[in-house]
């Protein structure tokens, strides 16, 4: 039975049980929440597996490889990722969230399966080999793409498929960070752009479902376990305001620098771009010989500075 016949039989089965359009959509939402949560967890686990195989450490808190391999592993991963991206899945280029927003707004939520499957493989290879990247953007694009594919599999109308993209986005972030409320807020503000969205109920349900799947498979702890703190003096507010301004300036400088370098990198065509990306991975690897905290997502390095109750540092 080919794929088209499978979709026809699936739709016929739903109509046989008198599912309305709304009923099919909400039934699909349940599947999207659970399945995309599972995909997000698989992506997380695959990154840890890649770290373990390549560096000998699951979270890169300790690296058990010779110094020259520490430099070459990110270079090789970046080179192979760029090669795959250049010649097999060029649509998977980018950080993930802007591309998902474009698909949601301009393409009625359609995300080709080659994009999100390629993003999964490239993300595991590139981040897993130590490239200094986050997993949030790729997770959003992967899970939103899977949600789009599920909607099209159930032969939903275009507006319904479009509505499933933020559902997948919320599920992805809820599973990635184990924070369903933050996932809902981010999705409504960043992707949908409307806090009163009609799909709010579906977004909340998917985020909770994905969080349940994540906690069942990875545990009940969020990514960042912030220790208890208290305001001892109102003067601290001035310090917090100063920290906020400084961090905002650093963030803006980082984004502008990143976009500037990326604009030059995009002008490199064909195999030259692949070589340049491999050299970028080599640079990350050389830095990582002395500062291994630059590798991959960096969560263990952040968590390690949290003060614990005994005055030490928390370890992830």
Specify the pLDDT at position 60.
Answer: 75
The answer to whether residues 91 and 116 touch, using CB atoms and an 8 Å cutoff, is: no
Tell me the angle at which helices 3-16 and 21-55 cross, rounded to the nearest 10 degrees: 130
Report the C-alpha gap between 44 and 297 in whole angstroms.
11
CATH architecture, range 3-303: Orthogonal Bundle (1.10)
307 has which bridge partners? 313
Average pLDDT over residues 180-185: 86
> Is the per-residue pLDDT at 227 higher than 90?
no
- Predicted TM-score (pTM) of this structure: 0.85
Specify the pLDDT at position 311.
Answer: 45
Average pLDDT over residues 285-306: 82
Report the C-alpha gap between 30 and 202 in whole angstroms.
8
Q: Looking at 213-217, 274-278, 307-311, which range is the least confident one?
A: 307-311
How does DSSP assign 121-189, residue by residue?
HHHHHHHHTT-S--SHHHHHHHHHHHHHHHHHHTT--HHHHHHHHHHHHHHHHHHHHS-HHHHHHHIII
Specify the pLDDT at position 286.
Answer: 92
> Is the per-residue pLDDT at 144 higher than 80?
yes
How does DSSP assign 2-69, residue by residue?
-HHHHHHHHHHHHHHTT--HHHHHHHHHHHHHHHHHHHHHHHHHHHHHHHHHHHS-SSSSS--S-HHH
Report the C-alpha gap between 47 and 118 in whole angstroms.
15
Structure confidence by residue, pLDDT tens digits, 28-66: 888 888 888 899 889 988 998 998 899 888 777 778 888
Structure confidence by residue, pLDDT tens digits, 160-177: 888 889 989 998 888 887
Q: How many residues does the chain have?
A: 316
Helix, strand or coil, per DSSP, at residue 244: helix
Mean pLDDT of the chain: 82
Q: Looking at 129-138, 150-159, 216-225, 261-270, which range is the least confident one?
A: 216-225
Structure confidence by residue, pLDDT tens digits, 10-33: 666 666 555 666 677 777 888 888
Specify the pLDDT at position 2.
Answer: 59
> Is the per-residue pLDDT at 79 higher than 80?
yes
Structure confidence by residue, pLDDT tens digits, 228-263: 777 788 888 999 999 999 999 999 999 999 888 888
Report the C-alpha gap between 123 and 309 in whole angstroms.
36
């Amino acid at each position: 039975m080919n794929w088209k016949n499978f979709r026809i039989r699936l739709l016929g089965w739903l109509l046989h049980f008198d599912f309305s359009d709304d009923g099919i959509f909400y039934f699909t939402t349940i599947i999207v929440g659970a399945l995309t949560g599972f995909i997000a967890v698989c992506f997380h686990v695959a990154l840890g597996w890649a770290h373990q195989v390549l560096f000998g450490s699951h979270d890169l808190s300790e690296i058990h490889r010779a110094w020259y391999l520490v430099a070459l592993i990110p270079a090789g991963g970046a080179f192979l990722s760029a090669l795959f991206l250049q010649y097999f899945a060029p649509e998977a280029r980018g950080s993930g969230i802007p591309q998902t927003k474009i698909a949601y707004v301009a393409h009625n939520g359609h995300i080709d399966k080659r994009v999100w499957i390629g993003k999964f493989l490239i993300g595991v290879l590139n981040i897993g080999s130590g490239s200094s990247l986050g997993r949030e953007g790729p997770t959003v694009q992967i899970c939103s793409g899977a949600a789009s594919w599920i909607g099209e599999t159930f032969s939903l109308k275009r507006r319904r498929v479009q509505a499933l993209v933020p559902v997948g986005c919320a599920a992805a972030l809820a599973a990635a960070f184990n924070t369903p409320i933050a996932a809902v807020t981010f999705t409504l503000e960043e992707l949908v752009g409307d806090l009163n969205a009609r799909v709010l109920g579906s977004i909340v349900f998917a985020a909770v479902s994905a969080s349940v799947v994540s906690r069942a498979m990875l545990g009940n702890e969020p990514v960042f376990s912030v220790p208890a703190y208290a305001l001892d003096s109102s003067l601290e507010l001035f310090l917090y305001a100063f920290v906020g301004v400084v961090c905002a300036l650093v963030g803006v400088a980082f984004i502008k620098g990143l976009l500037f370098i990326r604009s030059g990198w995009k002008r490199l065509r064909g195999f030259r771009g692949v070589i340049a990306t491999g050299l970028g991975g080599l640079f990350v690897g050389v830095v990582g010989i002395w500062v291994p905290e630059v590798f991959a997502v960096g969560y263990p390095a952040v968590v390690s500075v949290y003060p614990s109750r005994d005055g030490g540092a928390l370890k992830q």
